[in-house]
């Protein structure tokens, strides 16, 4: 019995990217009674071992430096935090919660892959058409970030508060706009979908700011589209001369140290002087670079690419 339930979960998880999550949820609800009978029968039989989905896994932060980052597994006993789950399944068993979590994880990984393998303008159209993608992505992203030993955004916030309190800032790919909420500065926050009124929804290759109007541009884990060089061009456009560009990225996106040096070279050719290189060198998970705009006459290499960041299923 355990095997049958597990096999069904695996099969349905695999289909999550093809079906809409809500549709799958509805299908699941239809079969709820049938599944519950099987589960009850299983629970009544003490000789049955718990299956792998009922194990409580250790939520370690998995700082491995490998090319993939793990999606956190969840405890079988923990309540689901997503509004989607809470709203529609308050009577579900913990096994069913686990199943829904798996579906959410699959959906998150699909959207994440989409963001890393499409252009920013295409992602913008898609997220505007279906803003629930943003919600699902950010739920998965928050779960993931909660397990990191450090979040690069925290270090950026500290850096602004201690060194650049008066600077005007553009936060490109701001997510839930935590940066703007954490510093006293004037912050222009941009993302594919606006979580609140402080955020302007747009593609960060084209932000509605005047040329040479900001002191600092931040890309915190947001150089996602395949046309990433266009985001750097836009940063160059809106930055004043001597303005600062700050990039934090998942280290594995650069491959190895050579990849990091190639990225620095790409920025130098574009017109920046690299000031603080890899302040987080001891951090196996993230890379951070800070540079100053020296000229408008640089050359941005349109062919430069970073590897997509994949979130491993655990």
* Interacting residue ranges for ligand SAM, rule: CB under 6 A: 115, 120, 123-124, 141, 153, 173-175, 178, 190-192, 203-204, 220-222, 224-225
> Which residue has tokens 């950010």?
138
β partners of residue 217: 170, 245
- Minimum CB–partner distance for residue 198 and ligand SAM (Å): 13
- Minimum CB–partner distance for residue 129 and ligand SAM (Å): 14
> Which residue has tokens 């003490």?
46
- Minimum CB–partner distance for residue 152 and ligand SAM (Å): 7
- Minimum CB–partner distance for residue 48 and ligand SAM (Å): 41
- Minimum CB–partner distance for residue 191 and ligand SAM (Å): 4
What lies within 8 Å, CB to CB, of 147 at 6+ separation is 59, 60, 61, 62, 72
Q: Which residue, 201 or 255, has its beta carbon nearer to ligand SAM?
A: 201
- Minimum CB–partner distance for residue 197 and ligand SAM (Å): 17
- Minimum CB–partner distance for residue 76 and ligand SAM (Å): 27
Q: Which residue, 25 or 115, has its beta carbon nearer to ligand SAM?
A: 115
Q: Which residue, 24 or 104, has its beta carbon nearer to ligand SAM?
A: 104
Q: Which residue, 160 or 174, has its beta carbon nearer to ligand SAM?
A: 174
Q: Which residue, 99 or 116, has its beta carbon nearer to ligand SAM?
A: 116
- Minimum CB–partner distance for residue 287 and ligand SAM (Å): 14
> Which residue has tokens 């579906």?
103
Q: Which residue, 95 or 202, has its beta carbon nearer to ligand SAM?
A: 202
Give the C-alpha separation, 113 to 110, whole Å: 5
Q: Which residue, 225 or 271, has its beta carbon nearer to ligand SAM?
A: 225
Q: Which residue, 9 or 221, has its beta carbon nearer to ligand SAM?
A: 221
């Amino acid at each position: 019995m355990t095997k049958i339930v597990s096999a069904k979960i695996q099969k349905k998880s695999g289909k999550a990217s093809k079906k809409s999550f809500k549709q799958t949820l509805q299908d699941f609800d239809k079969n709820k009674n049938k599944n519950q009978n099987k589960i009850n029968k299983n629970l009544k039989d003490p000789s049955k071992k718990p299956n792998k989905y009922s194990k409580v896994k250790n939520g370690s932060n998995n700082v491995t430096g490998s090319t993939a980052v793990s999606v956190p597994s969840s405890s079988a006993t923990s309540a689901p935090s997503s509004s989607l789950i809470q709203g529609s399944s308050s009577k579900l068993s913990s096994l069913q919660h686990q199943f829904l979590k798996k579906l959410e994880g699959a959906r998150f990984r699909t959207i994440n892959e989409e963001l890393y393998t499409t252009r920013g303008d295409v992602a913008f159209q898609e997220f505007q058409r279906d803003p629930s993608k943003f919600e699902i992505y950010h739920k998965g992203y928050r779960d993931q970030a909660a397990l990191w030993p450090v979040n690069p955004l925290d270090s950026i916030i500290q850096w602004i508060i201690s060194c650049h309190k008066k600077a005007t800032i553009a936060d490109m790919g701001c997510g839930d706009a935590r940066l703007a909420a954490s510093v006293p500065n004037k912050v222009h926050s941009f993302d594919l979908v606006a979580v609140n009124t402080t955020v302007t929804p747009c593609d960060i290759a084209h932000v509605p700011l005047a040329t040479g109007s900001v002191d600092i541009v931040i890309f915190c884990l947001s150089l996602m589209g395949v046309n990433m060089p266009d985001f750097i061009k836009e940063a160059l456009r809106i930055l004043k001369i001597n303005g600062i560009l700050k990039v934090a990225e998942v280290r594995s996106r650069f491959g190895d140290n050579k990849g990091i040096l190639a990225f620095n070279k790409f920025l130098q050719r574009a017109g920046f002087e690299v000031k603080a290189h890899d302040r987080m060198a001891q951090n196996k998970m993230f890379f951070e670079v800070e540079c100053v705009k020296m000229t408008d006459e640089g050359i941005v290499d349109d062919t430069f690419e970073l590897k997509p960041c994949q979130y491993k299923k655990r």
